[in-house]
Amino acid sequence: MIYGEKVREHFLKPHNMGKMEHPDGVGKVGNIVCGDVMWLYIKVGKNSKGQRIISDIKWQTFGCAAAIATSSAVTDLAKGKTLEEALEISNKKVVDSLGGLPPVKIHCSVLAEDALGEAIYDYLKKNNLRIPKKLQERHEKIIADIKEIEERYKEFLQREETSGKKQSREPGF
């Protein structure tokens, strides 16, 4: 396997896996055309100091071993943290906690960072709380990227909706 032992552990026995009923925030990132889709759910509570913390966290992922491992790792890192601390979890921290990832799989860790950020964004937005500038910008970038991918792979996404139709194309995709 091209992955290290920590990735293997998270991939084979992922932590915090599954759907959450009535989450306080949900982050949905990735794209089926690219083969990675990550949904991350959070519950927000308060600690003894009255700060908002991620009291529970769960995820569901369609993707490769690295996508599953980064989903598991990012939720481990975020659980129990204040929202401010959670927003400091970078993709690099996720990669480090996994003892590294192959270069072609680094994008999976970006997806994990984005999923967490989007879940927090969703929570803040729903509760009319102040959204940090950096988070707002990242959210806008994620939305723009999704639009760009949808545009670029229009034909394939339509295929996803119409399903199984007889179709063929030239190579190059």
Partner 1 sequence: MKVYLDNAATTPVRKEVVEAMQPFFSEKFGNASSLHSFGVEARNELEKAREKTASILKVKPSEIIFTSGATEADNFSLKGTALVARKEGKKHLITTAIEHHAVLHSMQWLETQGFDVTYLPVDEFGLVDVEQVSEAIRKDTFLVSVMAANNEIGTIEPFEEIAKICSERNVLFHTDAVQAIGKIPMDLKDIDLLSLSAHKIYGPKGSGVLVVKENVQIEPLIHGGGHEFGKRSGTENVASAVGLAKALELAEKERESEAKRQTALRDKLIDGVLQIPNTRLNGHPTKRLFNNANFSFSFIEGESLILRLNEKGIAASTGSACSSPNLKPSHVLLALGLKPSEAHGSLRLSLGRNNTEEEIDYVLEVLPLVVESLRKISPFAGQ
Residues that bind partner 1 (CB under 8 A): 1, 3, 11-12, 14, 17-19, 28, 32-39, 60-68, 104, 153, 156-157, 159-160, 163-173
Minimum CB distance to partner 1 smaller for 18 or for 50: 18
- List Cβ neighbours of 6 (8 Å cut-off, separation of 6 or more): 69, 97, 98, 99
- Min dist. Cβ of residue 85 to partner 1 (A): 26
Q: Is residue 86 within a helix (H) or strand (E), and if so which, with residue range?
A: helix 83-87
Burial class of residue 141, CB neighbours in 10 A (0-12, 13-18, 19+):
exposed
List of residues 6+ apart from 104 with CB closer than 8 A: none
Tell me if residue 108 is catalytic: yes
Task: Name the catalytic one among 20, 86, 94, 108.
Answer: 108
Closer residue to partner 1 in complex, CB, 13/49: 13
Q: Which is nearer to partner 1, 125 or 159 (CB)?
A: 159
Residues labelled catalytic: 34, 108
